[in-house]
Amino acid sequence: MKRLSLTTQIAIALVLAVIAGLLLQGHPEIANDYIKPIGVIFLNLLKFIVVPLVLFSIMAGILSMNDISKVGRLGVRTLIYFTFTTILAVTLGLCVSTLIKDFLPLISLDVQPSTQPVSTHVFTFMDQIVDMFPSNIIEPLGSMAMMQVIIMAVLFGVAMVHVGEKGEAAKQLMLSLNEVVAKVLTYIMAMAPFGVFCMLTPVVVTNGPGVLGSYAALVVLAYSCFILHALCVYAPLIRIFGKQSPWKFFKVMQPALLFAFSSDSSVATLPYSMKCTEQLGVRKDVGSFVLSLGATINMDGVAIYLGATAVFMAACCGMDLTLNQYFAIAFSATIASIGTPGIPGGSLALMAMVFASANIPVEFVAVAAGIDRIIDMGRTVMSVTGDASCAVVMEKLTK
C-alpha cells in the first residue's frame, strides 16, 4: 500500500465501499455498528486538526508574504488580481450550484446539522459583521467558529510582521507550529482510505446504487463551473488587459494544462507554465514572480469547488441555506483557497472548515472525498490557468 499514492488508495477505498455497501444491502446493522465507528474516528481527527491548521497556516502565509511589499507595483497588482478572480470563482460556484440544487439527488446520512457554528436566529448584515470578531480568544477555538479563528490569525499574523525584530521569536514559533500541524495532518490523512471506506459503506447501504448518481452530478457541477470560470473570467481579462487572443492563450498553454491535469500539482507544473508564458511574450522575471506566487496562494479551482460542494452537500441532505450561511461559505472558501496546504488531502481539512462555518454536517466530507481525485485534476488546471492569465495581464500593465 505504501507504493500507492494517497489518491489511488482513496479511489480503491471508494470502489470497495460501493461493493461492500451493495453486498450488505438489507443488513444496515453490520455497517452501522461495526464499520461506521472507524469512519467516525477519522472524522473526529479531521475536526480536531481543522482549527490549528487554519490558525497557523494563515499566520504562516502572512509571515511568508513579508517580502512581497518589496516588489512594488507588480506585487500589489498581482495580489489584487488573485483576490478579484478568487472572489468571482467562489461566487460562480455558489450561484451555479444554487440554480441546480433542486434537481440534485438526496443522500441520506444519519446525522443532524450542529447548531453551534451558526446561530438559529435571523442575522442582519451588520450582525454578521459583528459576529465575525471574537470577544474571547479561547471560545472560537473550542466552538469551531471559523470566521473568528480566521480574524484572529490575520490580526496576530499582521502584528508579528509589523513589530519587526521584536516579533522574530513569535514568527519562528508560529512557522514551527505550522510545520508540526501539517505533519499531524499527514498522519491523519494516512488513514483517509480506511475512513472513507468506513463512512461510505453505510451510505451505500442506506441509499443503494443511487449514491453513484450524486457522484456523477458533483463531477459535472464542478467541471461545468471550471469551464464557465475560464470562459467568463479569464478569457475577457486576457483579451481586455492582456491584449492577447484567448484562443492563442489556451493553445500555447496546452502543454502546461495537460501536465497539470495529469500531475495534480500546480507547483510541479511551474517549469511548463514559465516556458509557455514566455512563448506568449511574458518576460522571464515577471513570469517567474507571478507564477511562483500564484502556485502558492492562487487557487481559484479550490475556491470554486469548496463553494459548489458546500451548496451541493447541503442540498443532498435537504438543508435550505440562509443568506447568513451563504456569506459564511463565501468568506471561508475564499480564505481557505488562499491557505490550501500543499499536501495530499489538505483540501479535505479545509472543506471541513467551510462546512463547519455554514452548519453543514462535516460527515459529508467523507462522501466528497471519494471522488476528490477526479475533481482535483480540474482544480489544478484552473489554478495553473489563473496564474498564467495573471502573468499575461501583468506583462502588459507593468511594461
Quote the cell numbers at residue 133: 470578531
Query: Are the C-beta atoms of residues 354 and 90 closer than 8 Å to each other?
Result: no
Range in 54-68, 237-251, 319-333, 365-379 with the lowest mean pLDDT: 54-68
pTM assigned to the model: 0.65
Give the CATH class of 6-397: mainly alpha
Percent of the chain beyond pLDDT 90?
A: 7
Does 2 score more than 80 pLDDT?
no
pLDDT tens digits along 145-192:
666 777 788 788 888 888 878 888 888 998 899 889 888 888 887 887
The residue-averaged pLDDT of 61-73 equals: 59
Confidence (pLDDT) at 233: 92
Longest dimension (CA), the chain: 68
Burial label, 117 (beta-carbon count in 10 A; 0-12, 13-18, 19+): buried
Does 117 score more than 60 pLDDT?
no
Rounded CA-CA distance 54/238 in Å is 33
- Residue whose C-alpha cell reads 499527514 in the numeric block: 186
Confidence (pLDDT) at 340: 56
Confidence (pLDDT) at 338: 67
